[in-house]
Amino acid sequence: METQFRLLRFSGGIPLAMTMAAEVLLRGNFERFDHGEQTQLITVLIEELIQGLPPSVQRLLEAASVLWRFNEDRLTSIVDDDIETETFRSLVRLPFITLAGDYWMLHDAVRTWTQQDLIRRKPQTYEQMRWKALEQIRSEERLHPRLRSKLRMDKLYLHEHPLVRSTCFLGPADGVELRECRECDIPAIQSLYIRYLNFIAPSVPEERHMEGIIRSVWLTDPSSFITIWRQNELIAFYGMFPLHDRMLSVLSDAPLFHPFLTGVETSSEGLLVMYGRA
């Protein structure tokens, strides 16, 4: 049962990913399915994923794993080279890539496997790709300021800390969409935050942390929050607060931040991340 649970978590519950992982497990000698065995399994799975793919498509697959969502422009910025359109079309025809709105996305599990394999084999290359991708998203923000709030999820996935990146768990699931936060969503966000806080720190149920400043943050900059909905139900949110003067003033009202805000300079690029989910 424990192995089945780990397999489900490892595959992200995606039928394609579960089938591939189960087939490899049956062929191999994977008993406990612990971290070491998962690492070995990822290597085998990646080899199967890229089997028969031209090197040019394999290269784009690696680049796509760095991004939460991608298109031809974004991949071009990462690989620092022109991409043949037919090569890009060959990539997006792969069965584990789907079109979600104006962008393509790798299935969550496949993205994670490919990215982890890339980081292990070529950590410096991954970091270079991540920085180039971040610069591309920032250039899109400058070119289309009205898309700023929608692009923040893309920026969050490019965060330098893997724990922050791993919170971007939502792929192109049916009925899942991102929406701008409205004032009427604030009570639900506060509730989600407290529930999440109680989940990760159940021994301190009276601790509220940032709950008291959520509304003030929204009033200061409504685009600071992104809400995540499934079948018209608010299931999670991200808060990404730009560290400008007005926001720093609001954050200073939360004792939690006092040790961190001393000497902090305002920044158009600096962000403080907040998260909550059902």
User: Which position has the higher pLDDT, 11 or 58?
Assistant: 58
- pLDDT on residue 27: 60
Delimit the domains of the chain by residue range: 2-166, 176-277
DSSP, residue by residue, 39-92: HHHHHHHHHHHHTT--HHHHHHHHHHHH-SSB-HHHHHHHHTS---HHHHHHHH
CA distances from 129 to 9, 134, 170, 257, 271 (A): 27, 9, 22, 32, 21
Task: Give the pLDDT mean for 234-263.
Answer: 75
* pLDDT at residue number 159: 73
Query: Would the pTM count as exceeding 0.75?
Result: no
User: Which residue bears the tokens 């040019």?
Assistant: 56
pLDDT at residue 199 is higher than 70: no
More confident residue, 272 or 267: 272
Classify domain 176-277 by CATH number. Answer: 3.40.630.30
Answer with the residue of higher pLDDT: 107 or 56.
Answer: 56
For position 235, what pLDDT does the model report?
83
